[in-house]
């Protein structure tokens, strides 16, 4: 297949690309900068210049490909406080892909999230994404969930659409996401903190395992499929803090809810989301068995605390 990948030079995309190339596929990557373009060309990827706002570029690239893996998201905009703007841009991009692929039976795989699903229970692939128009212009995760549901409904328009829900930590050496932020906060405060009694759990997956699952989804996921990329169902954040403290030589302490905003800053509402997620259906359907290290193993090996080479 000739696969168009957005976010191809990003944290997950840079692992998805070699997965696709290694399986014999051709890859076309969206690049918004000279640096990204050079990185992709070095990796053997054909480059299309543009951003998520260039809807004609997205549609043309999708239409001339045999499938799309959509990983890009305006994280910089979202983390600056305009989550609604980032989610709106994502929705418009997916709509453009849907129009370009309608009636072709070609795959469209998008990334979505597991965080906050089935609070207090176990999220499964059968859990829905919510109404297709819920929160489209909101400032919370409901906007992205609505886009995920919209993507699944593209199956009715002849698109082999699927949604791969990812844990809040797709971990590995070089990750700059939530766990790296927790390490940064520990360094800043001189203590590795965890909320309450430390029992809040996050599912986790190593980047290489997630990348392999994106390839499998592009190759064979039936239309309208939800996949779960959870290698670990739920890692207690108290244990994450303990490991961060050990690696940094810092004490570990419980942070009361009343102090969460001061300690965790923008992460405060996120570290309060207790989430467990099963991937049993995904493993059976796609013969996906994670082989990478677990989150605590990665932390113990210094993936987040060693100084970069």
Residue 152 has pLDDT above 90, yes or no: yes
Give the model's pLDDT for residue 103: 98
Q: What CATH fold (topology level) applies to the domain 2-168+205-232?
A: Rossmann fold (3.40.50)
- Tell me how far CA of residue 102 lies from CA of 25, 54, 71, 90, 97, in angstroms: 22, 19, 20, 18, 8
| pLDDT score recorded for residue 84 | 83
Q: Outline where DSSP puts E strands in the chain.
A: 2-6, 26-31, 46-49, 67-70, 107-113, 122-123, 160-166, 169-171, 192-195, 201-206, 225-228, 232-236, 252-255, 276-277
pTM score over 0.85 = yes
Both tokens of residue 188? 């800043």
Residues whose CB falls within 8 Å of the CB of residue 82, separated by 6 or more in sequence, listed in order: none
| Domain residue limits, the chain | 2-168+205-232, 174-204+234-276+293-300
pLDDT at 269 over 90: yes
> End-to-end distance of the chain based on CA atoms, in angstroms?
36
- Pair of tokens at residue 87: 């989610």
pLDDT digits (tens, 9 = 90+) for 76-134: 877 777 778 888 999 999 999 999 999 999 999 999 999 988 888 999 999 988 777 65
Task: Output the DSSP codes for 190-234.
Answer: TSEEEETTS--EEEEEEHHHHHHHHHHHHHHPPTTEEEE--SEEE
- Which residues, at least 6 apart from 183, have a Cβ–Cβ distance to it below 8 Å? 244, 248, 304, 305
pLDDT at position 91 is 94
Q: What is the separation of C-alpha 291 from the centre of its chain, rounded to a whole number of angstroms? A: 18
């Amino acid at each position: 297949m000739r696969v168009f990948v957005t976010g191809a030079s990003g944290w997950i995309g840079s692992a998805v690309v070699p997965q696709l190339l290694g399986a014999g596929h051709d890859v076309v990557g969206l690049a918004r900068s000279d640096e990204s373009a050079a990185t992709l060309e070095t990796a053997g990827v054909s480059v299309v210049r543009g951003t998520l706002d260039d809807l004609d570029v997205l549609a043309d690239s999708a239409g001339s490909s045999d499938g799309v893996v959509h990983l890009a998201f305006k994280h910089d905009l979202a983390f600056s406080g305009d989550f609604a703007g980032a989610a709106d841009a994502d929705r418009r991009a997916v709509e453009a892909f849907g129009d370009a692929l309608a009636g072709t039976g070609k795959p469209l795989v998008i990334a979505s999230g597991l965080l906050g699903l089935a609070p207090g229970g176990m999220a499964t692939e059968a859990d829905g994404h919510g109404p297709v128009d819920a929160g489209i212009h909101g400032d919370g995760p409901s906007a992205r969930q609505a886009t995920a549901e919209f993507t699944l409904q593209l199956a009715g328009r002849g698109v082999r659409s699927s949604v791969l829900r990812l844990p809040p930590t797709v971990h590995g050496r070089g990750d700059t996401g939530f766990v790296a932020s927790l390490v940064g906060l520990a360094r800043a405060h001189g203590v590795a903190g965890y909320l309450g009694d430390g029992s809040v759990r996050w599912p986790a997956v190593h980047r290489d395992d997630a990348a392999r699952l994106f390839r499998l989804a592009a190759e064979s996921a039936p239309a309208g499929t939800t996949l779960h990329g959870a290698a670990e169902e739920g890692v207690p954040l108290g244990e994450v803090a303990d490991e961060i403290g050990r690696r940094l030589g810092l004490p570990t302490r419980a942070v009361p809810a009343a102090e969460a905003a001061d300690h965790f800053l923008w992460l405060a509402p996120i570290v309060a989301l207790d989430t467990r997620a099963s991937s049993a259906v995904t493993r059976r359907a796609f013969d996906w068995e994670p082989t990478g290290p677990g989150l605590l193993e990665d932390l113990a090996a210094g993936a987040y605390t060693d100084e970069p080479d």
